[in-house]
């Protein structure tokens, strides 16, 4: 739970510091968006390999190693004197996050019975949203009072506390696939392919040769799929997608949801500070309205999904999220603050109803020996969706605002790009409603698993 708090706290806190980092390094929107995207890209690329490795050698080993790497890289991010070096250590921070994301949910699922899985995953999701809730408030306050570097230093200190607690208190290894062979070739193909694909998507409007990297990534993915279908113990069992409807559509729904929602915090942080003129501390307090509702409602939604079909709960969450995004399409420089807060609250309720029931559906649909892979696959969908969300914003802002600085002088261009981004996100999220409804009956599957046991 402590680790589940740490990584979203870092992610949400840094959004409030983006304009300040831009001033420190005198850089524009493209490089600033990569401070966010680089962390997500690395996390997504290494999640599945580390999830599979954890199933084989033990989830505790990978979990603790990830926390140590996260602490080390967080401290170095705060010390860097150039945006390029900062992006490099954000990549390393993402590797540590992948090791944490790929094991945390798998450990929880390993020690709780199916009839309590939704409840404990709901509590875990609530912890994530507590991190998201405190991130804007503490991040905005720290940035305002002590500068943006203090955010990274605080994250490093928290990570060190988590590391000590994990080493001293966490018992067991939970190696569900102990003795099986780790697929090194498949891991390399997967990571290289995903990095190339996401970089190509993110940079296609700004870097001339990005389109070739995108094509290269797609070719590597085709090679990865063909290779995985031939070997006995792949890092990603593709049959989980082709023969397991619940697993496939639950992951697709997660991918769509995060693709449509993650960049909302980035866009509104820029909107509130650059266009509305609030300082980072005030902007953080405003953005708090979304994650605090997520934190309050997620345990209830998770527990509800143990008794009510998760696809129904999650689908209603996707519907409310779509409505919230739709109303954000109409914001302008004169939009009242209470309208922004109401829309953020609506997004918070929708996301709470979606996330923990969807996680319950994914983990309930697989055998124990695939818990690490299932957890990391869901995490990959989440992080890939976040990367795609930032890529969409990067491309749209590049088209409408180019490489302009984040200053009120370019408010009209930034606002136009922001509204177009929300229109695209609304359309994506609307499609996610149907993906969420397409999954099977998870409660029935849980009962069948209990019967087998």
Distance CA 366, CA 376 (A): 13
Q: Kindly report the pTM of this predicted structure.
A: 0.76
User: Could you give the count of Cα atoms lying within 13 Å of 182 in the half-sphere of its Cβ?
Assistant: 16
Residue 318 predicted with pLDDT over 80: yes
Q: What is the DSSP string of 162-175?
A: HHHHHHHH------
Contacts of residue 2, Cβ cutoff 8 Å, sequence gap at least 6: 127, 161, 162, 165, 166
Q: For 91-108, how does the pLDDT look when each residue is reduced to its tens digit (9 = 90+)?
A: 999 899 888 877 887 788
Please state, for a pLDDT cut of 90, what percent of the chain lies above it: 19
Average pLDDT over residues 208-223: 89
**Which of 371, 252, 368, 362 shows the shortest CA–CA distance to 310?**
362
Q: For 331-363, how does the pLDDT look when each residue is reduced to its tens digit (9 = 90+)?
A: 888 888 899 999 999 998 998 899 888 888 888
pLDDT band at 402 (very low <50, low <70, confident <90, very high): low
Q: For residue 152, what are its two tokens?
A: 């990274």
Q: What is the DSSP string of 316-332?
A: HHHHHHHHHHHHHTT--
User: Could you give the count of Cα atoms lying within 13 Å of 354 in the half-sphere of its Cβ?
Assistant: 31
Contacts of residue 28, Cβ cutoff 8 Å, sequence gap at least 6: 22, 403, 404, 405, 406
Q: What is the structure's pLDDT at 405?
A: 62
Q: For 422-438, how does the pLDDT look when each residue is reduced to its tens digit (9 = 90+)?
A: 999 999 999 989 888 88
| DSSP secondary structure code for residue 180 in this structure | P
């Amino acid at each position: 739970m402590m680790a589940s708090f740490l990584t979203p706290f870092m992610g949400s806190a840094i959004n409030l510091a983006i304009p300040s980092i831009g001033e420190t390094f005198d850089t524009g929107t493209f490089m600033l968006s990569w401070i966010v995207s680089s962390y997500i890209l690395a996390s997504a690329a290494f999640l599945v390999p580390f999830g599979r490795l954890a199933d084989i050698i033990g989830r505790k080993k990978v979990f603790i190693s990830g926390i140590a790497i996260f602490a080390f890289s967080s401290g170095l991010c705060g010390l860097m004197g150039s945006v390029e070096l900062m992006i490099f250590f954000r990549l390393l921070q993402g590797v540590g996050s992948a090791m944490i994301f790929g094991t945390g949910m798998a450990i929880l699922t390993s020690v709780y019975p199916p009839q309590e899985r939704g409840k404990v995953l709901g509590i875990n999701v609530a912890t994530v949203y507590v991190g998201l809730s405190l991130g804007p408030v503490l991040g905005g306050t720290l940035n305002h009072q002590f500068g943006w570097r203090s955010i990274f230093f605080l994250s490093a200190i928290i990570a060190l506390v988590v590391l000590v607690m994990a080493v001293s208190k966490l018992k067991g290894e939970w190696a569900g696939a102990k003795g099986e062979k780790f697929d090194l070739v498949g891991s390399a193909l997967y990571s290289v392919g995903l990095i190339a694909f996401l970089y190509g998507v993110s940079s296609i409007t700004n870097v001339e040769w990005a389109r070739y990297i995108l094509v290269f990534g797609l070719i590597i993915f085709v090679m990865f799929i063909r290779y995985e279908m031939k070997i006995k113990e792949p890092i990603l069992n593709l049959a989980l997608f082709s023969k397991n409807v619940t697993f496939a559509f639950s992951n697709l729904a997660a991918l769509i949801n995060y693709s449509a929602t993650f960049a909302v915090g980035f866009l509104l942080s820029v909107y509130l500070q650059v266009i509305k003129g609030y300082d980072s501390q005030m902007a953080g307090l405003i953005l708090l309205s979304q994650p605090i509702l997520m934190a309050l409602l997620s345990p209830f939604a998770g527990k509800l999904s143990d008794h009510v079909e998760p696809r129904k709960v999650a689908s209603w969450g996707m519907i409310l999220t779509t409505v919230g995004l739709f109303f954000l399409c109409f914001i302008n420089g004169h939009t009242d603050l209470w309208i922004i807060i109401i829309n953020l609250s609506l997004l918070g309720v929708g996301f709470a109803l979606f996330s923990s029931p969807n996680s319950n559906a994914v983990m309930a649909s697989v055998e124990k020996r695939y818990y690490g892979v299932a957890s990391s696959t869901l995490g990959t969908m989440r992080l890939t969706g976040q990367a795609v969300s930032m890529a969409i914003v990067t491309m749209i802002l590049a088209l409408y605002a180019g490489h302009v600085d984040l200053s009120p002088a370019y408010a009209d261009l930034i606002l136009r790009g922001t509204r177009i981004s929300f229109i695209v996100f609304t359309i994506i999220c609307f499609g996610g409603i149907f993906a969420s409804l397409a999954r099977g009956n998870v409660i029935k599957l849980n009962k069948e698993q209990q019967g087998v046991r």
